[in-house]
């Protein structure tokens, strides 16, 4: 009897699991479609030589224009059909266009370079093959007869219809590796990749360290702590376009406050273009060193803007650490540095690893900050800026998608290795 009850219980549990899965299946499919469809489309485009113009498939554009009046019976007018291939790269094949000719209209003459005929009140023009960028014109000389009954007999009420076959590079199954060959063969790609890694590593590490430092300071209770915590969130919650332009104005070489203060303090002799100067040179023990100024400024902005996120998560984790272990450590004579290294850090290692992974991915994909501050100039061109320039600046959508695929693969490989080998919480 007991076994029978256990069997029925397990059977009921299996049915409940199946029902729960069926209930959440539509949500799972919706989320997967939102995530996977753009990713698949990006991979698809990366293997095709597509420009922005190819997003609109080739078609036959026909414009009909009537010159003359047909207000009375016997009046003569001309119908002009102007047609052209909308594509600049692909031909149109087996092109035919038709137009309905009302009974109240008589065709007197057809002037054309193609074969046109009238069958059962329908104009049929066989254009054959229409090359890219090509166009033409067909003129019909018509007159009004006594069969004109109502407004439907006006040829303006009927639009021509076209039929053709063509190659749509976007939906075809013709693939190529030319986009990837072009990217990897360019010397600038490896330079851009190096800048991207430099920007990502230092931006991510700086935001984490500053967030950890702020969390350590604001962990202890003191007067005015809630106000300071709120102020520290300002960089993260402010609109990026507002804070980016504020930084550009502050560091402007002609009217910026920072340059004016540095000159008055006699730190510098002439204004510095912080966001427009690629390198600044200085001497160290007789050696000339070059410092990447614009890139460093963008990294500083990245650290300043995104350290509050690390600060919030780390502070929340630190407040969950038991206070008695710190009291015991103080009794044993542990210094604050030893307390942090041996007590706080083992608790925080998990959240720090998670934040590093997220911030690394987000910083690697960062575009708006760099574009607003420098436009990708002065040595700040990253892979995401390269995607924009390839896809929209020079209209090479396939190359832009290929760079995006490379970004995805780099981040995927990094995430797998980081998750596999990163340290977990030891307490």
Domain boundaries, the chain: 59-166, 180-239+299-421
Whether the per-residue pLDDT at 85 is higher than 70: the answer is yes
Residue matched to tokens 């060959």: 181
% residues pLDDT > 90 (the chain): 45
Quote the mean pLDDT of the chain: 88
Dist CA 206 CA 99 (whole Å): 69
Q: Which two tokens stand for residue 369?
A: 């900050």
Q: Are 340 and 217 in contact (CB under 8 A)?
A: no
| Mean pLDDT score, 154-158 | 76
Q: Are 355 and 309 in contact (CB under 8 A)?
A: yes
Residue 112: the pLDDT is: 67
Q: Are 250 and 257 in contact (CB under 8 A)?
A: yes
CATH class belonging to 180-239+299-421: mainly alpha
Among 5-9, 71-75, 191-195, 228-232, the minimum mean pLDDT is found in 5-9
Helices vs strands, H then E, count in the chain: 14, 10
Alpha-helical (H) ranges within 290-427 are 293-318, 324-331, 336-339, 345-364, 368-373, 383-388, 397-421
Same fold, 59-166 and 180-239+299-421: no
pLDDT in tens, 285-312: 767 778 899 999 999 999 999 999 999 9
Residue 402: the pLDDT is: 94
Whether the per-residue pLDDT at 77 is higher than 60: the answer is yes
Q: Which two tokens stand for residue 23?
A: 């209930």
Among 124-138, 189-203, 276-290, 330-344, the minimum mean pLDDT is found in 276-290
pLDDT band at 151 (very low <50, low <70, confident <90, very high): low
Q: Is 99 left (phi over 0), alpha (psi -120 to 50) or beta?
A: beta
Can you tell me whether residue 352 is helix, strand or coil?
A: helix
| Mean pLDDT score, 15-30 | 86
180-189: long-range pairs with CB below 8 Å, 24+: 180/46, 180/402, 180/406, 182/399, 183/399, 183/402, 183/403, 183/406, 189/386
**Which one is predicted more confidently, 268 or 362?**
362
Dist CA 168 CA 55 (whole Å): 9
Q: Candidates 2.60.40.1170, 3.40.50.2030, 2.30.30.180, 3.40.50.11750; correct CATH number of 59-166? A: 2.60.40.1170
Whether the per-residue pLDDT at 153 is higher than 70: the answer is no
**Which one is predicted more confidently, 9 or 302?**
302
List CB contacts of 354: < 8 A, sequence separation 6 or more: 313
Residue 46: the pLDDT is: 93
pLDDT band at 7 (very low <50, low <70, confident <90, very high): low
Residue 187: the pLDDT is: 82
């Amino acid at each position: 009897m007991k076994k029978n009850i256990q069997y029925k219980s397990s059977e009921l549990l299996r049915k409940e699991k199946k029902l729960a899965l069926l209930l959440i299946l539509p949500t799972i499919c919706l989320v997967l479609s939102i995530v996977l469809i753009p990713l698949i489309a990006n991979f698809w485009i990366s293997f095709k030589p597509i420009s922005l113009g190819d997003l609109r498939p080739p078609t036959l554009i026909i414009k009909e224009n009537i010159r003359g009046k047909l207000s009375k019976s016997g009046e003569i007018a001309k119908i002009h059909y102007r047609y052209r291939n909308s594509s600049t790269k692909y031909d149109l094949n087996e092109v035919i266009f038709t137009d309905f000719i009302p009974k109240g209209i008589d065709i007197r003459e057809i002037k054309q370079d193609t074969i046109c005929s009238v069958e059962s009140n329908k104009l049929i023009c066989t254009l054959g093959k229409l090359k890219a960028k090509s166009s033409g014109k067909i003129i019909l000389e018509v007159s009004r007869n006594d069969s004109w009954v109502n407004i439907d007999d006006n040829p303006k009420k009927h639009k021509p219809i076209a039929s053709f076959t063509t190659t749509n590079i976007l939906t075809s199954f013709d693939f190529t590796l030319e986009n990837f060959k072009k990217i990897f063969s360019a010397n600038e790609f490896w330079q851009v990749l190096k800048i991207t890694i430099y920007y990502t590593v230092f931006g991510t590490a700086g935001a984490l360290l500053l967030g950890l430092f702020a969390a350590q300071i604001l962990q202890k209770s003191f007067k005015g702590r809630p106000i300071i915590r709120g102020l520290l969130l300002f960089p993260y919650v402010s609109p990026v376009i507002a804070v980016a332009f504020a930084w550009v104005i502050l560091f402007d070489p002609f009217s910026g406050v920072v340059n004016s203060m540095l000159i008055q303090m006699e730190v510098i002799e002439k204004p510095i273009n912080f966001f427009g100067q690629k390198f600044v040179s200085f001497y160290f023990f007789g050696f000339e060193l070059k410092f990447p100024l614009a890139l460093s400024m963008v990294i500083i902005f990245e650290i300043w803007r995104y350290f509050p996120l690390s600060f919030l998560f780390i502070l929340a984790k630190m407040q969950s650490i038991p206070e008695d272990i710190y009291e015991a450590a103080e009794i044993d004579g542990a210094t604050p540095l030893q307390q942090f290294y041996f007590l706080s850090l083992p608790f925080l290692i998990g959240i720090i690893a998670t934040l590093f992974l997220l911030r690394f991915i987000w910083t690697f994909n960062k575009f708006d900050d760099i574009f607003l501050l420098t436009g990708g100039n002065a040595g700040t061109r990253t892979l995401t800026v390269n995607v924009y320039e390839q896809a929209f600046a020079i209209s090479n959508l396939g190359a832009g998608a290929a760079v995006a695929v490379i970004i995805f693969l780099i981040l995927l490989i990094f995430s797998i290795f980081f998750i596999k080998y990163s340290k977990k919480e030891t307490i």
